[in-house]
Amino acid sequence: MLFYMTEIRKRAIAWAHDHDKVCASFTSRPVHLSRHFCVIEMPLDLPDSAITGTPEMLLKSHENLDADGWSKDKTIRPVSGQRVQLMLCMIREEALELKLRPPAPDLEAKAGRILRKLKSTWQSIPSHMKYDSAQQRAGQIKTAMILHSLRLEYLCTEFLLHTLLAISSKISRERLLLTAHEIVNTVLLPIRKRDLLHSHRADMEWAVSGVIPEIPEPAHEIPILPQPKGQNRNRGVRIMQGDLPDPTGLQKM
């Protein structure tokens, strides 16, 4: 098979897997595309012009990749985001399997293992693929929103796992609320920056809708953390019906 066709197929599969996990989260149904029954390959972080261009262009772009397939020039392309989404959605699939299956005595241990795997995967992602508020100040709005959506995908999976752990752990209940607070702040960002980010608002709201079904039924039992003195209330905090410190720093943007 021609190289460009192989790469296009990899990108299509990555897109399909990510959307399948979002829909599964939204509807609380099992995933349709399971890692158990298909081979998943990471698309290379190459520009479109390289995979459809001349052999010389492809060779030059290929030499610009590191050992893990990331572009050394740290350019953020749509396929760069797809690579991160694919890494995260594979872990989301594990979390969904744990949530949707019948209760088991080893649920807490498995949820903890998946949560550690999620954090390790996030740490392994190159730093230029993580949100930096300086990008907005520099006018890189589209890039900033791509990275925001990736952060939101990570937070949604973290939230799902904390809902499982919160059943038996007070610490996880507190972390669940902190994660929920950060998700709300991320979703409210387009509202606070509506003049710059208006065109991306619908995408962000759709993305966060995937975690709404994951809110645990005994939500009233989750403890509300006290508000530090001198911190102003904001819409995100009021939505959560409690007072929390802002772990994201988004309120200052």
Spell 52-61 as b/e; 16+ CB within 10 A means b.
eeeeeebeeb
> In the prediction, which pLDDT does 8 show?
92
CA distances to 24, 160, 174, 188, 216 from 236, rounded to whole Å, are: 26, 19, 16, 7, 19
Q: At what angle do helices 170-192 and 141-165 cross, to 10 degrees?
A: 160
**Where residue 138 falls among pLDDT bands split at 50, 70, 90?**
low
167 occurs within a structural domain: yes
Average pLDDT over residues 43-53: 90
> In the prediction, which pLDDT does 117 show?
97
Residues in the chain: 253
- Residue 51 tokens read as 């995979």
> In the prediction, which pLDDT does 210 show?
47
CA atoms within 13 A on the CB side of 95: 31
> In the prediction, which pLDDT does 54 show?
85
Q: Give 159 or 53, the one with higher predicted confidence.
A: 159
Listed in sequence order, the DSSP H helices in 28-140 are: 48-51, 55-62, 78-100, 107-124, 134-137
5-9, 117-121, 185-189: least confidently modelled range: 185-189
Question: Is 80 exceeded by the pLDDT of residue 135?
Answer: no
110 occurs within a structural domain: yes
Residue given tokens 């390959």 in the structure block: 41
The pLDDT tens digits of the residues spanning 218-242 come to 444 444 444 444 444 444 444 444 4
Average pLDDT over residues 13-41: 90
74-83, 148-157, 201-210: least confidently modelled range: 201-210
Percent of the chain with pLDDT over 90: 34
Q: How far apart are CA 132 and CA 42, in angstroms?
A: 25
253 occurs within a structural domain: no
252 occurs within a structural domain: no
Question: Is 70 exceeded by the pLDDT of residue 191?
Answer: no
Question: Is 80 exceeded by the pLDDT of residue 86?
Answer: yes
Q: How far apart are CA 237 and CA 241, in angstroms?
A: 6
> In the prediction, which pLDDT does 233 show?
44
- Give the contacts of 98 (CB within 8 A, at least 6 positions apart): 107, 110, 111, 114, 164
Percent of the chain with pLDDT over 70: 70
> In the prediction, which pLDDT does 133 show?
52
Domain that holds residue 143: 3-247
132-136, 178-182, 203-207, 247-251: least confidently modelled range: 247-251
The pLDDT tens digits of the residues spanning 56-68 come to 888 888 889 999 9
- CA dihedral over 141, 142, 143, 145, signed as positive or negative: positive
Q: Are 118 and 106 in contact (CB under 8 A)?
A: no
- The total number of structural domains in the chain stands at 1
> In the prediction, which pLDDT does 252 show?
45
Q: What is the mean pLDDT of the chain?
A: 78
> In the prediction, which pLDDT does 129 show?
92
Spell 159-197 as b/e; 16+ CB within 10 A means b.
bbbbbbbbeebeebbbbbbbbbbbbbbbbbbbebbeeeb
102 occurs within a structural domain: yes
213 occurs within a structural domain: yes
> In the prediction, which pLDDT does 218 show?
42
